Amino acid sequence: MTMTGQRPGRAKQGPANRPALSHRLAERGIDKLLLLLLPALLFALVLFVYPFVYGLGLSFQPKTGGLFGAYVKFFTDPSVRGLDSIWVTLQLALPAALLNVLVSVPLAYKMRGKFRGKRALTTVLVIPITLGTVLTAEGLLNFFGQRGWLNRFLGVLGFEPLQLVQNYWGVLWSLIISGFPFAFLLILSYLSGIDPSLEAAARTLGADWKQRFRRITLPLLAPGLAITFCLTFVLAFSVFPSAILVGDPSGSTRVIAYVAYNAWGQQFDYPLASAAAIVMGAVELIVIVLVLIWRSRMYKGSTGGKG
Amino acid sequence: MSIHATSFETLELENVARSFGGQNALRNLNLSIRSGEFIALLGPSGCGKSTALNCLAGLLPLTGGRILMDGKQIDRLPPEKRGFGMVFQNYALFPHLSVEKNIAFGLEMRKVPKAEIKKRVAEAIELVQLGPHATKLPGQMSGGQQQRVAIARAVVLRPPLVLMDEPLSNLDAKLRLEMRTEIRRLHQSLGLTTLYVTHDQEEALSLADRLVVLRLGEVQQVGTPQDLHEHPVNWHVADFMGYRNLLEGVVERAHGEAVTVSVLGTTVTGSAQVPLRAGDAVKVGLRPEDFDIAPAGTAPAGLASIDATVEVVEYQGREFAVEVRSDAGKPLHVRTARHVEPGQRVTLTATQDRVLVFPAELASAPDRAPQLQGAAL
Ligand SMILES: Nc1ncnc2c1ncn2[C@@H]1O[C@H](COP(=O)(O)OP(=O)(O)O)[C@@H](O)[C@H]1O
Ligand SMILES: [Mg+2]
């Protein structure tokens, strides 16, 4: 073989024939296709980054109390009771997210294969996604309310009516109903991503279904569970409409979003409202980081058969 | 050595069948596997090989027939109770477990004591020569190494039967040859009984003691590699056994086994594989290496001959693979040590016993089933 051309490695060093700019950019993964990202970037900038930075700035400009005045007020002012609202929200969002994940896992596990009526069942399970929080709240009131079906039925049987809405349980229910479809669909898709021949292999090696689930499926699913938990948690943590409609916004379901709304719409204290929103984001971030730290200790490579 | 196959006398498959929504993927599979045998299940893609293997492993319930191990029916047992070792086409290694843990998995499921697990895993790793990789994850290893792990994971349990589903099809050509030898070596040294699925006739011929050729879910022939290679029962098996030239023709005269067939505008005398009569539509099967190729006009008289023109000559080590086009326009494959040039006029001849004549129609299953059962036992 004869070689007349220069080796590519050499060509790079000689300034006379450096590769074209487009080639050097392509080497770093930059090409014209990236321009397609521009609209999305613009969108994110206008709708997300700008309001966030603006809100952050606002939260450090209270009328009184200096740079951190709004935050001090949020945490210490007895009329705001910010710390309480964080606890209230966490007490709603954590169990709701956890329960949604825990209920979805066995359901999705049972439904990962093909079977008759799978589509119909999936549809029923996912319908709450299309409902939206207000409709869900209305349904809950109709069913669980003072004069709802359940209590009327209990009344006929001679029982005392149960207080299931306008309190903590009403909001928790609504969070579970609206969060479940997300958790279920996500986990179902994570499960479908696990090569079924892994379970078949485990079977031929003598593992019963419990062992297969614990030793194979669960470890491979864990990273997906972490992500699902984070997403449903964030959804639940920003609970607002249902806290008012089926909850007790002045007491047991006085969630952080409600505090922010109150500061903004009732007291016209924009810095305080911004501070509440920033604290809300910070708490979400802390929970997500904790979950991701747990996840980083797990295997998280491919879940296909080739490893 | 402590890895030794637990054993059975015979494993009988009786009319094993599996259909998917009315579609038969496997019909009337009759096979008797003796302990220590290496059996290859051979057939084109989609012919039901994996289905047969999964039925045997218990991963697919049967829709007909029975499986008996030493007279005991086992086809209702779930796979985890059958205890057959299985090697999957895509290896199916647990990606989150190290090589050691993958191999130990089956032993742990069987509640083997820790110390013994350790010993047997080390031995299995030694056996497949993966010593330096014991603590790696499967994803950090090459395809060939992964397949070794998969094999070690299956044989460490000393299974009475090892099932392999095209275990080499994802490897490159050189590695395939190496692993083939490796599999045969393990089979012999561990005293395994192996059922091996492949679509590669060369692999099947070189590995197996007996071959089972499948087509559209039906067994075509069961026999030793030599049986099948020399005496395929129909043109489909012949096709798989390297009879690359399958020519359509019509019987002109038949005298017992010797039949004269008009094919490619000439007549060829061959041996009928089943009784044939004049006028029958047939397929004539010829292996590339059974042709004699000679420059036109120099062929010995008396033998059936086909005139042709050389088109492509490929050098393949000690021989040439030659593609010629017959004067009737049909391409033919020839292997020869004789040097010919593209464009050269040649005459092809073949002796009568290497020209196999089959009926063009493939017989349907029912009338062949008893005969096959006989062949299997
Ligand atoms: N789960 C299934 N559902 C429906 N049809 C199937 C299924 N598995 C296999 N088949 C069909 O059965 C036939 C045999 O398949 P298979 O045993 O995988 O073939 P092979 O392994 O020989 O390539 C094919 O026609 C295939 O389409
Ligand atoms: Mg297959």
Look at residue A9 and tell me whether its pLDDT is greater than 70: no
Give the separation between CA A255 and CA A244, rounded to whole angstroms. Answer: 9
What is the dotted CATH code of the domain comprising A91-263+285-298? 1.10.3720.10
The pLDDT of residue B302 is 58
B42 pocket-lining for ligand 1 (C-beta < 6 Å): no
Q: What integer is the mean pLDDT of A134-144?
A: 86
The pLDDT of residue A187 is 94
Do residue B157 and residue A197 have CB atoms under 8 angstroms apart?
no
Give the separation between CA A300 and CA A298, rounded to whole angstroms. Answer: 6
- Cα(A282) to centroid(ligand 2), Å: 53
**Burial class for A96, CB neighbours closer than 10 Å (0-12, 13-18, 19+):** buried
- Output phi, psi for B282, to 5 deg: -135, 165
The pLDDT of residue A8 is 47
B24 pocket-lining for ligand 1 (C-beta < 6 Å): no
B86 to chain A, closest Cα gap in Å:
7
- Cα(B54) to centroid(ligand 2), Å: 10
- DSSP letters, chain A, are ----SPPHHHHHH-STTPPPHHHHHHHTT--GGGGGGHHHHHHHIIIIIHHHHHHHHHHT--SSSSTTHHHHHHHH-TTT-HHHHHHHHHHHHHHHHHHHHHHHHHHHHHTSS--TTHHHHHHHHHTHHHHHHHHHHHHHHHHHSTTSHHHHHHHHTTPPPP--SSSHHHHHHHHHHHHHHHHHHHHHHHHHTS-HHHHHHHHHTT--HHHHIIIIIHHHHHHHHHHHHHHHHHHHHT--HHHHHTS-TTTTT--HHHHHHHHHHTS--HHHHHHHHHHHHHHHHHHHHHHHHHHHTS--S--STT-
CA distances from A85 to A42, A76, A140, A172 (A): 34, 12, 23, 15
Tokens in use for B62? 């049967």
B60 pocket-lining for ligand 1 (C-beta < 6 Å): no
The pLDDT of residue B59 is 93
Look at residue A249 and tell me whether its pLDDT is greater than 70: yes
B48 to chain A, closest Cα gap in Å:
17
B198 pocket-lining for ligand 1 (C-beta < 6 Å): no
- Cα(A124) to centroid(ligand 2), Å: 36
In this complex, the residue of A198, A206, A207 whose CB is nearest that of residue B92 is: A198
Domain ranges of chain A: 91-263+285-298
pLDDT digits 0-9 by tens, A14-65 = 455 777 888 888 888 777 888 888 889 998 888 888 989 999 999 999 888 8
Give the separation between CA B198 and CA B206, rounded to whole angstroms. Answer: 12
In this complex, the residue of A200, A205, A301 whose CB is nearest that of residue B95 is: A301
Q: What residues in B contact A196, CB-CB < 8 Å?
A: none
Residue of A nearest to B144 (CA): A306
- Output phi, psi for A139, to 5 deg: -60, -45
Tokens in use for A105? 């896992």
Tell me, yes or no, if A211 comes closer than 8 A to chain B by beta carbon. Answer: yes
The pLDDT of residue B194 is 95
The domains found in chain B, sorted by start residue, are 10-230 (3.40.50.300), 244-359 (2.40.50.140)
Q: Per residue of chain B (377 residues), what is the pLDDT tens digit?
A: 455 556 788 899 999 999 998 889 999 999 999 999 999 999 999 999 999 999 999 999 999 999 999 989 999 999 988 989 999 989 999 999 999 999 999 999 999 999 999 999 999 999 888 888 989 999 999 888 999 999 999 999 989 999 999 999 888 888 889 889 999 999 999 899 999 999 998 899 999 999 999 999 999 999 999 999 888 999 989 988 888 899 999 999 888 888 989 888 888 888 888 888 888 899 999 999 888 888 887 766 656 688 899 999 998 888 899 999 988 888 999 999 888 889 888 888 888 888 999 998 876 544 333 333 334 33
Which helix (H) or strand (E) segment holds residue B178: the answer is helix B173-190
Tell me, yes or no, if A195 comes closer than 8 A to chain B by beta carbon. Answer: yes
- Cα(B49) to centroid(ligand 2), Å: 6
The pLDDT of residue A245 is 87
Q: Are strands B194-198 and B162-165 parallel, antiparallel or unpaired?
A: parallel
The pLDDT of residue A304 is 62
- Cα(B87) to centroid(ligand 2), Å: 12
Contact B203, B40 (CB under 8 A): yes
A231 or A301, higher pLDDT: A231
A9 or A237, higher pLDDT: A237
A281 to chain B, closest Cα gap in Å:
34
ipTM of model over 0.85: no
pLDDT digits 0-9 by tens, A151-197 = 888 888 888 888 888 889 999 999 998 899 999 999 999 998 899 99
pLDDT digits 0-9 by tens, A57-83 = 999 998 888 889 999 999 999 988 889
Q: What residues in A contact B61, CB-CB < 8 Å?
A: none
A113 or A223, higher pLDDT: A223
Look at residue A6 and tell me whether its pLDDT is greater than 60: no
B170 to chain A, closest Cα gap in Å:
11
Contact A175, A245 (CB under 8 A): no
B47 pocket-lining for ligand 1 (C-beta < 6 Å): yes
Do residue B94 and residue A307 have CB atoms under 8 angstroms apart?
yes
In this complex, the residue of A202, A207, A307 whose CB is nearest that of residue B95 is: A307
The pLDDT of residue B15 is 93
Is the alpha carbon torsion for B327, B333, B336, B341 positive or negative?
A: positive
Which ligand 1 atom is at minimum distance from the Cα of B51? 17
Give the separation between CA B28 and CA B62, rounded to whole angstroms. Answer: 11
Share of chain A above pLDDT 90, in %: 42
